[in-house]
Amino acid sequence: MKKLTAVLIILLVAMSFASAKLVIWSSENQIPALEKLAADFESDYGIQVEIQQVNFGDIKSKFLTAAPAGEGPDIIVGAHDWVGELAINGLIEPIPFLPDREQYYEVALDAFNYGGKLYGVPYTIEAIAIIYNKDLVFDVPKTLTELEQLALEASDDEVVGFIYTAGDFYHSAPFILGRGGYIFKETSAGQDVKDIGLSNQGAVAGGNLIKSWFDKGLIPGGPNYNLMDSLFKDGLAAFIVNGIWATPSYRDAGIDYAIIPFSEIAFDDGTTPRPFVGVQGFMINAKSSNKLEATEFVVNYIGSYEGQYGMFLGERRGTARADVFAFIEAGAGPELYDVLQFSKSASVGTPMPNVPEMASVWGAMGDALGLIINGQDTVENALSAAVEKIKTTIGN
Amino acid sequence: MSGRRFAAFLVFLAILAIFNGFALWSIYLLYADGNFGLMVTMVILTLLIDLIALNPKGYPYRYMIPAMVLLFILTLYPMYYTFRTAFTNYGTGHLFTRQQSIQKLLSDYFYIPEKPQEYEFSIYIQLKDYNPTDNFITLLQSKESGELFAAPRPQAINRDATGNITLATAKMLEIKGDTFSIGGVNYSLSRSPTGSVLAIRSDTGERFVYFYSPQDQSTRPNASFYFSEIRGVWLRNAEFTDSEGNQVRLFPNSLYTTFATTERKYALRAETVFSAGRAIQETVVYNRQTGRKLVEEGGFFYDVDENGNDITVEGYISDVGFWNFVRMFRDPKISKPFFQVFGWTFTWAGLSVFFSFTIGLALAMTLNDRRLKGKKIYRTLMIIPWAVPAFISALVWRNGFFNETYGVLNRFIVQGLFGLEPIKWLNDAFWAKVSVLIVNTWLGFPYMMTVSLGALQSIPEEFYEASSIDGATRLQRFKKITFPLLMVTVAPLLVGSFAFNFNNFTGIYLVTQGGPAIVGASTPAGATDILISYTFKLAFEGRGQDFGFASAISIIIFIIVAGFSWINFKLSGSFEEVSR
């Protein structure tokens, strides 16, 4: 038995030496850029980098299963709103030092900040904006009231003036947060989940605005994402609210669209709507045995100017570094119109809270918005019920 | 024994040997993993299988074994695991054992002490046949004072299971007059005319040459050897001790391009704790910087910062006893909507079975009628809802039929045909319940129709002939012959169907996600939430994942369903009496 154990240990040791390499889980679009960086890293470090393609939507759940068992990759690509859950679980490692820190957009670093520590190197920023069909709308609205009028003018028996996924908090957030609603109070020690501002005056004002669109018949009853998407593709919707992920399919459908970033449209009092900003970045497995190399790869290679520009070329989305953005903007042709417009929209946005308590907000606010747009409850009641729900769900 | 049989026996033995090889391997892995419960079970199972395979008396059991093994892997072990998890706080923030958490506290947390020293360093390496070896000396130069120190290759103190060094230590030696000594051997520095150190020589004749320094771009060609063989093996977890006893490590804040004094933040110490009037020695984790001991509460280690605030440091899995069960009754978010959700779960399961069975039976009787032509076509068509994946049908119903403005039902039937106000199918509590029932009936009736068809065909024709001679009406025949005889076969399936719908998560989640919200409710329970979907919301859409709580609720649901099925089987047993 002793001999057997010895043999097995030797085998395991041999296997572990053979596997002294960095493993990255990445979604499809980042792979070309990563491969280039990996080649540089390999020649500099003599350590192999293996890039494994995992569907973006599966990365978090797979990582949550693999990482606690000491398996799993050294580096993952992910969304910033995973950070709280992964950090509380002790599965991701803080980034000790970020060179060129001042080049990163504040919103991108804030998004990956949890409990005062940076948990990832961001590479892309995205936020939703208003999209309209230029064949149906002939004027660019400067305020939401103007948008309502233009939408009314555009609508007829077939065409819908304005439609978006109003029952979903992500899409309705710009109007609620823009008027002064907030989710969790920002404090110096992070977000105070006990102070919820989703039923304050500003949030109610936003809720009333959304309700008025339904009361006026501007938005048809029961809107959902698929409906909005297909109406717009068929040229049957004038204004919608959506993100950069959707525009390629609109172009393919032959729709002549334009994008109004939330920074360029205002409420009647002059304030602008504030969309949620989603940031994606690279995070390091806290249980990795190659933490040093993983950190160096993420910070010095992916975080570098060239690395970030490569990421941008792989997927044309707003970048997290100001110098990369400036370079792109300087040479931008019409093909980068979408990126620039959505980036402007993100500039007035606020990062989605990355605390795990956020999970309860989506459901509760979805419920409240459902009650509001169906006229089953007053805006005030629905929103304060939502806050109650969030509090009971977070508990303790 | 004939040659042929002997060969067969050898093949059999070989297969058994391979199986045992795999079994031993997995037992070893489980042992290395510390999963002793499963290891013992595996040992018992392996012995049992070997016994049965080799013992001629065990012959009939050979055919049972695969089923038993699968039963164990797919049913019994998950049940045991669920049961065990129900008594823990396993979930977000509590994924590791207490032991693992303490290990992490001791090894992964550092602080920078007052007056830290930062050192630039360079590596001097011994060559053998002009190739670098992994025998090296680290020369450290204080950034502040410029003083030079030397450190020999650190000695491995701890290794992990795979042989990687997790701790290696060495002393930093002061260099005076360009010489220093390690263990009685004297070393001297050879400098170039410009004063930089080119090599280190020992008086025993060893020679270490300048190899790599992160600050020196000209040594970059050597970086890859340094990273993989020197740092990757020896320096990654090296801990140098300076003359004052401070710990010096690769400095994360410079991205490992310098060394600096860093201290481990947490350590263990024995402490006398008074409990029930007796003094007990206890090992506690304390913060070396502040001297305070960590507070342990609710499966978390808390540290106290300078303002007196608790900071969560690490969480671990702890036994919580019956807390997860107690919570169900104490916690308002569960007790408040419980009866509403529970009531609807029964209604939903009962009505789903009722509607799909009534419709299925009616169709089966129609298809069973001899006068009907083109039975095969109808039968095939009727099976379609069953054959299409449920999630596709559910989405078609949700978006295509029930949409308020564009759905087929409202657009063409409610408004178009009857000219009524559009119905808020999915956004009104009552109509949402109707909607999920419609979808579930649609998905469920083909199954009921199929089993009823089979059952109908097994009823002997003579019964009907005899009854028609007696002058029974169609209704009488149905009541006295068809239905009772049908029930003998179908009743257990109805019970099964009820139990299935009781936990039919997809049926609810794909259509309404438990919504719409209930006006004024302070809990996330929606109008169509059944127990299982509400549990899902509580356990996974609140604050991360709460596996312990989810397990506790699934045990309760299991008890409810099992109890109800038992009663039902009793009741359906009474139908069997009729047939006798």
Summarised one tens digit per residue, pLDDT across range A298-351 is 999 999 999 999 999 988 888 999 999 999 988 878 888 999 999 999 999 999
Q: How far is the C-alpha of B340 from the C-alpha of B523, rounded, in Å?
A: 12
CATH architecture of the domain with residue range B110-264: Beta Barrel (2.40)
Q: Which residue of B has its CA nearest to A380?
A: B520
The answer to whether the Cβ–Cβ distance between A393 and B224 falls below 8 Å is no
Phi, psi of B398 (to 5 degrees): -65, -50
The answer to whether the Cβ–Cβ distance between A381 and B28 falls below 8 Å is no
Neighboring chain B residues of A20 at a CB cutoff of 8 Å: 228, 232
The ipTM, to two decimals, is 0.80
Q: Does B22 touch chain A (CB under 8 A)?
A: no
Phi, psi of B234 (to 5 degrees): -100, -40
CATH number of the structural domain B3-85: 1.20.58.370
The answer to whether the Cβ–Cβ distance between A289 and B164 falls below 8 Å is yes
Q: Does B223 touch chain A (CB under 8 A)?
A: yes
**Residues in contact with B7: Cβ distance below 8 Å, sequence separation at least 6, in sequence order:** none
Amino acid at A202: G
Does domain B327-579 fall under CATH 1.10.3720.10? My reply is yes
Say which residue the tokens 């399936």 belong to. B493
**Residues in contact with B236: Cβ distance below 8 Å, sequence separation at least 6, in sequence order:** A292, B165, B250
Measure A331 CA to nearest chain B CA, in Å. 34
Q: How far is the C-alpha of B521 from the C-alpha of B517, rounded, in Å?
A: 8
Which of B496, B117, B524 is CA-nearest to residue A361?
B524
Q: How far is the C-alpha of A82 from the C-alpha of A59, rounded, in Å?
A: 10
Of A166-175, A268-277, A310-319, B411-420, the one with minimum mean pLDDT is B411-420
Give the per-residue pLDDT at A18. Answer: 44
Burial of B99 (0-12, 13-18, 19+ CB in 10 A): exposed
Integer angstrom CA distances of residue A177 from A172, A198, B319: 9, 8, 41
Of A47, A68, A394, the CB nearest to B227: A47
The answer to whether the Cβ–Cβ distance between B162 and A15 falls below 8 Å is yes
Structural domain spans, chain B:
3-85, 98-106+265-315, 110-264, 327-579
Asked if residue A2 has pLDDT above 70, the reply is no
Q: Which residue of B has its CA nearest to A299?
A: B255
Of B162, B314, B521, the CB nearest to A12: B162
Position A5 confidence tier, pLDDT thresholds 50, 70, 90: low
Q: How far is the C-alpha of B337 from the C-alpha of B333, rounded, in Å?
A: 7
pTM of the predicted model as reported, rounded to 2 decimal places: 0.84
Q: How far is the C-alpha of B92 from the C-alpha of A18, rounded, in Å?
A: 33
Neighboring chain B residues of A43 at a CB cutoff of 8 Å: 224
Measure B339 CA to nearest chain A CA, in Å. 18
Give the per-residue pLDDT at B576. Answer: 55
| Percent of chain A whose pLDDT exceeds 90 | 69
The answer to whether the Cβ–Cβ distance between A296 and B255 falls below 8 Å is yes
Cα B521 to chain centroid distance, Å, stands at 31
For Cα atoms B63, B65, B69, give the angle at the middle one, nearest 5 degrees: 145
What is the per-residue pLDDT across A49-66, written as a single tens digit (0 to 9) for each? 999 999 998 999 999 989
Q: Does B404 touch chain A (CB under 8 A)?
A: yes
Q: Does B308 touch chain A (CB under 8 A)?
A: no
Neighboring chain A residues of B101 at a CB cutoff of 8 Å: 90
CATH number of the structural domain A2-125+277-351: 3.40.190.10
Q: Does B307 touch chain A (CB under 8 A)?
A: no
Give the per-residue pLDDT at B487. Answer: 85
> CB–CB of B525/B534 below 8 Å?
yes
Number of H helices, E strands in chain A: 16, 16
Neighboring chain B residues of A293 at a CB cutoff of 8 Å: 227, 232
Burial of B66 (0-12, 13-18, 19+ CB in 10 A): exposed
The one-digit pLDDT tens for each residue of chain B (580 residues) are 578 888 988 998 899 899 999 999 999 988 887 778 888 888 988 898 888 888 888 778 878 888 888 888 888 888 988 999 999 999 888 988 888 899 888 888 888 888 888 999 999 999 888 888 889 999 999 998 888 999 999 999 888 877 888 889 999 998 888 888 888 888 999 888 888 888 999 888 889 999 999 988 888 888 888 988 899 889 988 999 988 888 899 998 888 999 999 888 898 988 887 777 788 888 888 888 888 888 888 888 888 877 777 888 888 999 888 988 888 878 777 777 888 888 999 999 999 999 999 999 999 988 888 888 888 888 888 888 888 888 889 889 988 898 888 888 888 888 878 878 888 888 888 999 999 999 999 999 999 999 998 888 888 888 888 888 888 888 888 888 888 888 888 888 888 898 899 989 998 999 988 878 888 777 788 899 998 898 888 888 877 788 898 899 889 888 988 888 788 777 766 545 544 4
The answer to whether the Cβ–Cβ distance between B520 and A377 falls below 8 Å is yes
Neighboring chain A residues of B519 at a CB cutoff of 8 Å: 371, 376-377, 381-382, 385
The answer to whether the Cβ–Cβ distance between A47 and B517 falls below 8 Å is no
The answer to whether the Cβ–Cβ distance between B309 and A296 falls below 8 Å is no
Query: Containing H/E element for B354?
Result: helix B332-368
Burial of A299 (0-12, 13-18, 19+ CB in 10 A): buried
Neighboring chain A residues of B407 at a CB cutoff of 8 Å: 222
Give the per-residue pLDDT at B573. Answer: 65
Neighboring chain A residues of B522 at a CB cutoff of 8 Å: 385, 388-389, 392
Q: How far is the C-alpha of B207 from the C-alpha of B211, rounded, in Å?
A: 12
CB < 8 Å from A in window 409-468 of B: 422, 424, 426-428
CATH number for A127-275+355-394: choose from 3.40.190.10, 3.40.50.2000, 3.10.105.10, 3.40.50.1010: 3.40.190.10
Of B161, B254, B314, the CB nearest to A90: B314
Mutate to test the interface with B, among A1, A88, A95, A300 (most CBs of B within 10 A): A88
Amino acid at B436: V
The answer to whether the Cβ–Cβ distance between A46 and B524 falls below 8 Å is no
Residue A107, both tokens = 């919103």
Residue B244, both tokens = 């004052």
Mutate to test the interface with B, among A198, A376, A396 (most CBs of B within 10 A): A376
Q: How far is the C-alpha of A362 from the C-alpha of A366, rounded, in Å?
A: 6
Measure B503 CA to nearest chain A CA, in Å. 21
Q: How far is the C-alpha of B230 from the C-alpha of B222, rounded, in Å?
A: 11
Rounded (10°) angle between helices B332-368 and B323-330 = 90
Give the per-residue pLDDT at A69. Answer: 83
Of B228, B309, B405, the CB nearest to A45: B228
Which neighbouring-strand residues pair with A242?
A: A129
Neighboring chain B residues of A17 at a CB cutoff of 8 Å: 163
Q: Does B236 touch chain A (CB under 8 A)?
A: yes
DSSP state of B207: E
Asked if residue A118 has pLDDT above 50, the reply is yes
CB < 8 Å from A in window 105-164 of B: 108, 160-164
Which neighbouring-strand residues pair with A280?
A: A79, A124
Looking at A102-156, list the stretches that DSSP marks H as alpha helix, in order from N- to C-terminal side.
106-111, 144-154
Structural domain spans, chain A:
2-125+277-351, 127-275+355-394
Mutate to test the interface with B, among A289, A298, A369 (most CBs of B within 10 A): A289
Q: How far is the C-alpha of A67 from the C-alpha of A106, rounded, in Å?
A: 29
The answer to whether the Cβ–Cβ distance between A370 and B515 falls below 8 Å is yes
- Average pLDDT, stretch A219-227? 88
Measure B569 CA to nearest chain A CA, in Å. 38
The answer to whether the Cβ–Cβ distance between A359 and B424 falls below 8 Å is no
Say which residue the tokens 């989305």 belong to. A317
Q: Does B405 touch chain A (CB under 8 A)?
A: yes
The answer to whether the Cβ–Cβ distance between B424 and A222 falls below 8 Å is yes
The answer to whether the Cβ–Cβ distance between A374 and B250 falls below 8 Å is no
Neighboring chain B residues of A394 at a CB cutoff of 8 Å: 542-543
Residue A377: left if φ>0, alpha if ψ -120 to 50, beta else—which one?
beta
Which of A395, A90, A332 is CA-nearest to residue B98?
A90
Measure A164 CA to nearest chain B CA, in Å. 14
The answer to whether the Cβ–Cβ distance between A13 and B524 falls below 8 Å is no
- Average pLDDT, stretch A127-145? 94
Measure A22 CA to nearest chain B CA, in Å. 12
B93: helix, strand or coil: coil
The answer to whether the Cβ–Cβ distance between B522 and A45 falls below 8 Å is no
With helix as H, strand as E and coil as C, how does A337-359 read?
HHHHHHHHHHHCCEECCCCCCHH
> CB–CB of B488/B579 below 8 Å?
yes
**Residues in contact with B403: Cβ distance below 8 Å, sequence separation at least 6, in sequence order:** A222, A224, A227, B410, B425
Q: Which residue of A has its CA nearest to B429?
A: A376
> CB–CB of A88/A293 below 8 Å?
no
DSSP state of B177: T
A89: helix, strand or coil: coil
Give the per-residue pLDDT at A74. Answer: 95
Q: Does B537 touch chain A (CB under 8 A)?
A: yes
The answer to whether the Cβ–Cβ distance between B225 and A388 falls below 8 Å is no
**Residues in contact with B211: Cβ distance below 8 Å, sequence separation at least 6, in sequence order:** B122, B123, B124, B125, B132, B136, B219, B222, B225, B226
Give the per-residue pLDDT at A104. Answer: 93
Q: What letters, b where the CB count within 10 A reaches 16 and e where it falls short, cover B123-140?
A: bbbbeeeeebeeebbbbb
Q: Which residue of B has its CA nearest to A392?
A: B333
The answer to whether the Cβ–Cβ distance between B224 and A20 falls below 8 Å is no
Mutate to test the interface with A, among B106, B313, B406 (most CBs of A within 10 A): B406
Q: What is the CA radius of gyration of chain B?
A: 37
Give the per-residue pLDDT at A15. Answer: 44
